[in-house]
Structure 1
């Protein structure tokens, strides 16, 4: 990116900022690195703080319906406390740790439709301004990828992915938002459910997997939502038969008879006490096998060109919306 905009709070002739992220996708809980490049303006200025925010486009449900907005879910201070001279160029390198619960934006290189960004903020003596916004790409952890691949091999289809503002009761969720990956069931489960929503809540030690099913009603019973939670460890990637593991989760979810209404219905069910006949399979299917074999994997369900184009448009709208919001805010302050 070029130096894209002058800092409005500092005024015309003030410094400009451009944040350049190191190439490639990052992992939840992993390192995000890059450089904040500053270009001095017409006069020297004291840079008190350089901040980075991770932001997301989210959906929020309320009494009037649904709305979309931007939420910052993490902030870092990566520099500051120096004087930037007139027309001086300076680069500030940084490395920060991404939250473990950071949503996944792509699977096997295919965009999922989730929009994240890294927003840069400069704080100077006379004010502050958000000077740059760059798209952030996040790929799944190995354990997340193993679960998604198993769902693909079990013939679940990818429908959509979005970010919801709020918390799932009964879990260890830390961020103010969570990701829902919506899946269509294979024929053997289609009689029981119309859709399954998957949420990952990662931690340094493992992963909470939250599954919610939109269950079909019967002649004498109405349809309802059922939800359950499972816990796995990162080191389980190499030792579990993930097709059997995930299929067991789905069976428990679809066979659950009780109807639930609120988010507080989450209950804990670890694979270590689930009672299913899991076996180790060190020589089983590797990650990405579903796609390589041409199976009905989740990545196959994403029409690459179409989804990629939509995500590019979404990121463009995201950036434009951020700038419009800032301009409106500045006009309001002037008023």
Structure 2
């Protein structure tokens, strides 16, 4: 192969390309993702050091009273060991990986995708991007359903930059903002916010903000000073599911 073609390949021209094909386009957080990576050789033989799949999400970051959309990796996986792909050769590599249970739900403006990259020595690394839909895990879904059963309606859901106070392994948290539309909390609360601080298949750590409705001058003063808000940390496990609605009722009622 000519020197000129080697130079072009180093810039990604005429080099190997990659295409990931997922088994489906929508997953439940925590589910196993299956698919295959197809690698197409270019104009010359190349050494592929690794193939990596990275799950990314978007989140909102505020700076100087302005909002920006940032991206953050949720998980990175190495698919294979080094190999050589010949000119015009095709290699198909199946994979099976776990989608982290803490992957944000794709609701509102939140996006999640799988990025595939080839690590090629002395060459531009080709990439592929596949957007996926993510539904809540079984436990998270039951938590959100119980909140709705208490008479709340989801008004907004967004991935936001996590403050230093609540930051865990990710720079973001997903916040769900509910308003009471029926039941005992209508007229007594302005809103209820739920943040998933951490999750596993068996448990979830929540931060709940109860925003009481202002009553009279004292209430409006408290609202202006944000004294009408209560923040509660709550741990939920699968053992709580039979009486989850009662548990939420007790927690919210204490902060009315």
Greater fraction helix: 1
Which residue of structure 2 lines up, in the alignment, with residue 229 of structure 1?
233
Structure number with larger C-alpha Rg = 2
CA distance change for structure 1 residues 15 and 125 in 2, over 3 Å: closer, same or farther?
same
Which residue of structure 2 lines up, in the alignment, with residue 324 of structure 1?
none
Which residue of structure 2 lines up, in the alignment, with residue 214 of structure 1?
211
1:270-285 equivalences in 2 (<5 Å): none
1:1-335 equivalences in 2 (<5 Å): 10-23=11-24, 25-105=26-106, 111-167=107-163, 169=165, 173-187=168-182, 188-200=184-196, 201-218=198-215, 219-220=217-218, 221-223=221-223, 224=226, 225-237=229-241, 240-252=242-254, 254-255=255-256
Is the CA contact 1:143–1:236 (under 8 Å) kept in the aligned structure 2? no
Which TM-score applies when normalising by structure 2?
0.83
Q: Aligned-pair RMSD on alpha carbons? A: 2.4
Give the whole-Å Cα distance in 1 for the aligned partners of 2:10 and 2:28. 34
CA distance change for structure 1 residues 47 and 29 in 2, over 3 Å: closer, same or farther?
same
C-alpha deviations, 1:200-227, integer Å up to 9, x for none?
2212541112212333334123212321
Q: Report the alpha carbon displacement of residue 85 of structure 1 after superposing the two structures with TM.
A: 0.8
Give the whole-Å Cα distance in 1 for the aligned partners of 2:62 and 2:230. 19
Is the CA contact 1:14–1:40 (under 8 Å) kept in the aligned structure 2? yes
CA distance change for structure 1 residues 202 and 130 in 2, over 3 Å: closer, same or farther?
farther
CA distance change for structure 1 residues 8 and 96 in 2, over 3 Å: closer, same or farther?
farther
Give the whole-Å Cα distance in 2 for the aligned partners of 1:217 and 1:236. 32
Is the CA contact 1:8–1:129 (under 8 Å) kept in the aligned structure 2? no
Give the whole-Å Cα distance in 2 for the aligned partners of 1:102 and 1:39. 30
CA distance change for structure 1 residues 8 and 195 in 2, over 3 Å: closer, same or farther?
farther
Which TM-score applies when normalising by structure 1?
0.65
Give the whole-Å Cα distance in 1 for the aligned partners of 2:40 and 2:10. 16
Is the CA contact 2:12–2:126 (under 8 Å) kept in the aligned structure 1? no
CA distance change for structure 1 residues 127 and 177 in 2, over 3 Å: closer, same or farther?
farther
Structure 1 residues without counterparts, runs of 5 or longer:
1-6, 106-110, 256-335
Q: Report the alpha carbon displacement of residue 167 of structure 1 after superposing the two structures with TM.
A: 4.4
C-alpha deviations, 1:247-303, integer Å up to 9, x for none?
223223x42xxxxxxxxxxxxxxxxxxxxxxxxxxxxxxxxxxxxxxxxxxxxxxxx
CA distance change for structure 1 residues 130 and 222 in 2, over 3 Å: closer, same or farther?
farther
CA distance change for structure 1 residues 64 and 151 in 2, over 3 Å: closer, same or farther?
closer
Q: Tell me the secondary structure at the aligned position of residue 207 of structure 1.
A: strand
Aligned length: 240
Is the CA contact 2:41–2:86 (under 8 Å) kept in the aligned structure 1? yes
Give the whole-Å Cα distance in 1 for the aligned partners of 2:160 and 2:89. 42
CA distance change for structure 1 residues 212 and 128 in 2, over 3 Å: closer, same or farther?
farther
CA distance change for structure 1 residues 95 and 168 in 2, over 3 Å: closer, same or farther?
farther
Which residue of structure 1 lines up, in the alignment, with residue 4 of structure 2?
none
